[in-house]
């Protein structure tokens, strides 16, 4: 059986920065370090950080006054930030820079008096943070049908941003529907879909020719991992989302001749290869490496770390 490992996979720069932020905070400031929401959507990563002294919370009331608080890579709404300030918490913001750009765009358009259509999943923490910048001037669109529900006249000047972890395959038809309905649309100079998300989707799509099984190593809560699984499903390929080796079923590989493997942006290499090794333990495998690894990009850690460390 050929096991095709897609080289463009795994951690993106925003995830690396977020994880390193928590690790550095634990090193410089010592435990406990509180983190608002899961720093990234991956159980393996979260458990590792918990063991080092990180405490993940959803309600700021759980955080003792004066404690250190890290905001996750997904971003945060202004009212939550203000609540943290009011409680005297020492904030370390690990929001991905690409997500921050989307927040800034919503605020810029708000000042111009232009409402913003947010293409994304309304219950996703990133979208909750984006719309939190201006509840009264944002409207979330999840699919083409939602475009009909946008509460503005066709002559209304609007702006459009997207959740950074979506698939271009999902966004493009929604954008076409929006363009067909509205005459004056402000779009970002470049798509607000994260470049790493796009790179992973493109590399996977190119690797799937002749595949009869796709394995995506990733957490079911990870939007970008689910989008990778959907790429395989759209092409009629049996596509499985595997959080860890424990979720593998050898029977899925019985008739497979070409299996493609990739991983979501919040999946560490050690977890990816633990799944590879588990497959090799019950199946004779010919490893094939598809494509070239992407150029590594590093984001600077939050300045608050050095400020609080003195």
pLDDT tens digits along 63-74:
999 999 999 999
For β-strands 116-119 and 68-71, DSSP reports them as unpaired
pLDDT, tens digit, for every residue of 279-304?
999 999 999 999 998 888 888 999 99
pLDDT at 138 (0 to 100):
98
Residue 182, token pair as written in the block = 């509205």
The Cα 218–Cα 44 span in angstroms is: 10
pLDDT bin (cut points 50, 70, 90) of residue 167 is confident
On the question of a cis peptide bond just before residue 300, with omega within 30 degrees of 0, the verdict is no
Please state the rounded mean pLDDT for residues 164-191. Answer: 90
**DSSP state letter for 222:** -
277 to 72, 235, 270: CA distances (angstroms): 31, 27, 10
pLDDT at 298 (0 to 100):
82
Please state the rounded mean pLDDT for residues 300-310. Answer: 91
Classify residue 76 as left (phi > 0), alpha (psi -120 to 50) or beta.
beta
Work out the percent of the chain whose per-residue pLDDT is above 90.
89
Please state the rounded mean pLDDT for residues 204-224. Answer: 96
Residue 41, token pair as written in the block = 């959507």
pLDDT bin (cut points 50, 70, 90) of residue 310 is confident
**CB neighbour class for 263 (10 Å; exposed up to 12, middle 13-18, buried from 19):** buried
What the chain holds in terms of domains, given with CATH numbers, is: 2-11+195-290 (3.40.1010.20), 13-96+299-309 (3.40.50.11270), 98-187 (3.40.1010.20)
Any idea which residues carry the catalytic annotation?
126
pLDDT bin (cut points 50, 70, 90) of residue 185 is very high
The Cα 169–Cα 204 span in angstroms is: 13
């Amino acid at each position: 059986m050929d096991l095709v490992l897609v080289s463009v996979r795994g951690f993106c720069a925003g995830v690396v920065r977020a994880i390193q932020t928590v690790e550095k905070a634990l090193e410089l400031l010592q435990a406990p370090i509180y983190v608002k929401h899961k720093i990234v959507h991956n159980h393996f990563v979260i458990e590792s950080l918990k063991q080092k002294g990180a405490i993940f919370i959803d309600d700021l009331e759980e955080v003792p006054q004066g404690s250190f608080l890290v905001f996750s890579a997904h971003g945060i709404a202004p009212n939550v930030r203000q609540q943290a300030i009011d409680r005297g918490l020492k904030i370390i913001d690990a929001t991905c820079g690409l997500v921050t750009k989307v927040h800034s765009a919503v605020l810029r358009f708000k000042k111009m008096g232009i409402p913003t259509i947010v293409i994304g999943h309304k219950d996703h923490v990133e979208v909750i943070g984006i719309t939190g910048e201006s509840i009264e001037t944002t409207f979330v669109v999840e699919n083409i049908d939602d475009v009909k529900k946008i509460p503005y006249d066709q002559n209304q000047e609007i702006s459009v941003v997207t959740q950074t972890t979506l698939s271009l395959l999902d966004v493009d038809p929604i954008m076409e529907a929006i363009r067909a309905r509205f005459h004056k649309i402000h779009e970002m100079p470049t798509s607000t879909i994260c470049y790493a998300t796009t790179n992973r989707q493109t590399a996977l799509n190119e690797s799937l020719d002749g595949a009869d099984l796709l394995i995506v190593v990733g957490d079911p809560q990870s939007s970008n991992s689910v989008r990778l699984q959907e790429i395989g499903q759209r092409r009629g390929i049996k596509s499985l989302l595997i959080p860890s080796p424990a979720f593998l079923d050898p029977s899925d590989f019985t008739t497979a001749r070409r299996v493609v493997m990739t991983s979501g942006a919040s999946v560490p290499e050690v977890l990816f290869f633990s799944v590879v090794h588990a497959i090799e333990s019950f199946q004779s495998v010919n490893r094939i490496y598809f494509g070239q690894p992407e150029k590594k990009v590093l984001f600077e850690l939050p300045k608050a770390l050095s400020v609080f460390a003195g």
